[in-house]
Structure 1
């Protein structure tokens, strides 16, 4: 049987009834003979409420104290899930991130995982106990203060534990059935992707897909961790993210474009004053990027950086995009025909990103999906990998 790390996001546990349902799923995997490690996010809405509480106290809460506060959300859901498992007759034990050996950098609110020493987790598994670990948090390496990993940090906690424990797979449970060819809320006809490479998943996360945190995909890619994105509300097979069997799969089907992603909150930054005659490049970034630019020492010609706060981006994700000029031609023709204003921004073999006004973004995503993916077959798992994790 397999060693599985299962992560449950806040959307999977918005209530006590859902915590009980998640406990039943965990127990089912345990009874099926799997060794299971569980990583829990805070219950839906908890982190936002804690942030609001802190800001109602002070507009600038000390970062150390804010981390100490936010860490309590995952601790509560973790302990409650352990209790729910015990009520089902399954022995379980909850651990905080630091008790589980998650060691991080010093950056409160956005710490990076430096090392994972899961001795107590391994010991619990050896005793037949299900260890539950709080996601999103750890302990400063060489220090004694709690840190948090930023939004999506529970994904990264789960992947890091899977890598350290050499798990067979890391199952990311959410409120959708897997990774789709586009956001189903924007494109109702979007299709579930059975499988993706780490690189394609990385490009999708970087392009705005919210199903997995970018940092978790980067960690999984670096440590060759197989990811399995699934719904905690059904038993749909979900999406496998792995590089183990894709050389053959993609060589056979070679889809030029496999998904359309979007980000409504990007920002266009123009860097003027370059001495060369070529026009300055445009870059998309987040609010973090804007604050970094504005706080950096001024460079010659870059004293004032104009930022357009109302730029959105859409991306084509695929393979060999630079080798197929017709891809960019189809993109231009599609958006021009739909009267959608846009500016091409970046183009690589695996991602083409364009900018457009936010009011046109949904129409752009739908038009591109129809042009590139309406009749394109998607990669399927080879027959011998379709029961990769054996999870019921």
Structure 2
């Protein structure tokens, strides 16, 4: 029997009416003869509400207890969806992460899956039942309930698809698929019919919130095709898979305003200085998004780090301590910066790529503070106030927007087209 793994995010399941609508889609797929495994997120903003409830009791909730609390959201959704499917005349059964055999390490609130013992799921599929699995959660090797971190339901779905030998994993959300830019900032952003794993990883890591990057990495390692589709309507969405043709081409523009720039000025030149600073940041749990360095005065160097805005206070404290230890002159921090990135496999091989990016931003009178490049992206640090203008300028430069006639035609459907928060 062909097995299909579907994942539905919290926005797609936010109300009883939406749950019933999703149930109808699932039953139609089951009646077509496929074995169906469905992974669900918590309804709407349930996870954020539970997190807020915990913090109203204690400012720093213990991680183990947080996992016990937060997994309740997906259990509610899985039960209600199973009820709705059964009401439509199909057999269904709901499982928690532990009942599904999802075994993780012991890292509470950010666990990694070690293995999936899916025998129970296979037995229920053999009985022609739809299996509903609570996403985002598992059980550790020490028999503790764990969660997989933000966007963990995507990881659950991909891991189950691989374990069950599914050909592809369908991710249903409240947007049409992967777009060339955020339509809230770039009106007329186009749907991408297909995209490579590498391109999707860059998009996910630089501000696009449709898919969790760990799930894309896992799918890429196992060559599992992903399909992002709208949960309302019959859109074909976006297919994510291996690259098939060599095509240096801009595929999208991302932006991020929630970053901060920190600089460690006039660091004495030493082979160990950089490794010590980066190690201290890592030990404090600060993820360095980008790194730049430049020559300072009198045999010194300047080290600059781009971090998430939420990590600014921790990063500043770490760098101040490192400055005293290694003899750097000062630490400078700025929150008024943003990031805009151009994405596409092999784009930096194009000889005029940087020129086109810089010219487009220059025409819009946007100052570029720093630039970082890789095989699949060019990222520019710019003033935070200019991020929207920069994204629109680059989308125009690389023809990433619908023709105006198409924009006016599609604008009246009333459907939300912006990327939703992670589900």
Flag whether TM exceeds 0.5 (same fold): yes
Q: How far 1:302 moved relative to its partner?
A: 6.3
Task: Tell me the distance in 1 between the aligned counterparts of 2:400 and 2:218.
Answer: 32
Query: 94-103 or 287-296, which moves further after superposition?
Result: 287-296
Counterpart for residue 371 of structure 1: 397
Counterpart for residue 386 of structure 1: none
Task: Tell me the distance in 1 between the aligned counterparts of 2:337 and 2:401.
Answer: 30
Aligned to 1:333, the other structure's residue is in SS state helix
Q: How far 1:167 moved relative to its partner?
A: 0.7
Contact 1:4–1:34 (8 Å) recurs in 2: yes
Matches for 1:274-353 after TM superposition, within 5 Å: 274-275=268-269, 278=295, 280=302, 282-287=304-309, 290=312, 293=315, 294=317, 298=322, 300-301=326-327, 305-353=331-379
Aligned to 1:268, the other structure's residue is in SS state strand
Gaps of at least 5 residues in structure 2 are: 271-293, 296-300, 404-423
Counterpart for residue 57 of structure 2: 57
Pair member with larger Rg: 2
Gaps of at least 5 residues in structure 1 are: 378-392
Alignment CA distance shift 1:258-1:162 (3 Å): same
Alignment CA distance shift 1:18-1:147 (3 Å): same
Task: Tell me the distance in 1 between the aligned counterparts of 2:177 and 2:371.
Answer: 28
Task: Tell me the distance in 2 between the aligned counterparts of 1:320 and 1:274.
Answer: 36
Alignment CA distance shift 1:290-1:103 (3 Å): farther
Aligned to 1:347, the other structure's residue is in SS state strand
Counterpart for residue 384 of structure 1: none
Task: Tell me the distance in 2 between the aligned counterparts of 1:107 and 1:167.
Answer: 28
Counterpart for residue 382 of structure 1: none
Query: 22-31 or 318-327, which moves further after superposition?
Result: 318-327
Q: How far 1:222 moved relative to its partner?
A: 1.5
Counterpart for residue 33 of structure 1: 33
Counterpart for residue 407 of structure 2: none
Counterpart for residue 189 of structure 1: 188
Aligned to 2:251, the other structure's residue is in SS state strand
Contact 2:168–2:224 (8 Å) recurs in 1: yes
Counterpart for residue 19 of structure 1: 19
Cα deviation 1:9-62 (Å, max 9, x = unaligned): 011011011000001111111111111110000000111111111111111111
Task: Tell me the distance in 2 between the aligned counterparts of 1:39 and 1:209.
Answer: 21
Task: Tell me the distance in 2 between the aligned counterparts of 1:374 and 1:264.
Answer: 21
Contact 1:177–1:234 (8 Å) recurs in 2: no
Q: How far 1:267 moved relative to its partner?
A: 2.1
Alignment CA distance shift 1:79-1:97 (3 Å): same
The yes-or-no answer on 1:107 pairing with 2:101 is no
Q: How far 1:237 moved relative to its partner?
A: 0.3
Task: Tell me the distance in 2 between the aligned counterparts of 1:303 and 1:113.
Answer: 44
Cα deviation 1:75-104 (Å, max 9, x = unaligned): 100110001001011111100011111122
Counterpart for residue 95 of structure 1: 95
Query: 116-125 or 69-78, which moves further after superposition?
Result: 116-125
Task: Tell me the distance in 2 between the aligned counterparts of 1:291 and 1:144.
Answer: 35
Give the aligned CA root-mean-square deviation in angstroms: 2.2
Counterpart for residue 241 of structure 1: 240
Task: Tell me the distance in 1 between the aligned counterparts of 2:93 and 2:318.
Answer: 45
Q: How far 1:205 moved relative to its partner?
A: 0.7
Counterpart for residue 150 of structure 1: 149
TM-score, length of structure 1 as denominator length: 0.89
Contact 1:268–1:308 (8 Å) recurs in 2: yes
Task: Tell me the distance in 2 between the aligned counterparts of 1:63 and 1:192.
Answer: 39
Task: Tell me the distance in 2 between the aligned counterparts of 1:159 and 1:303.
Answer: 48
Contact 2:338–2:387 (8 Å) recurs in 1: yes
Aligned to 1:322, the other structure's residue is in SS state helix
Counterpart for residue 256 of structure 2: 263
Contact 1:11–1:43 (8 Å) recurs in 2: yes
1:356 to 359, 382, 389: 382
Aligned to 1:257, the other structure's residue is in SS state coil
Q: How far 1:358 moved relative to its partner?
A: 2.0
Q: From the two aligned structures, give the one with the greater strand fraction.
A: 2
Q: How far 1:285 moved relative to its partner?
A: 2.4
Alignment CA distance shift 1:143-1:292 (3 Å): farther
Alignment CA distance shift 1:319-1:12 (3 Å): same
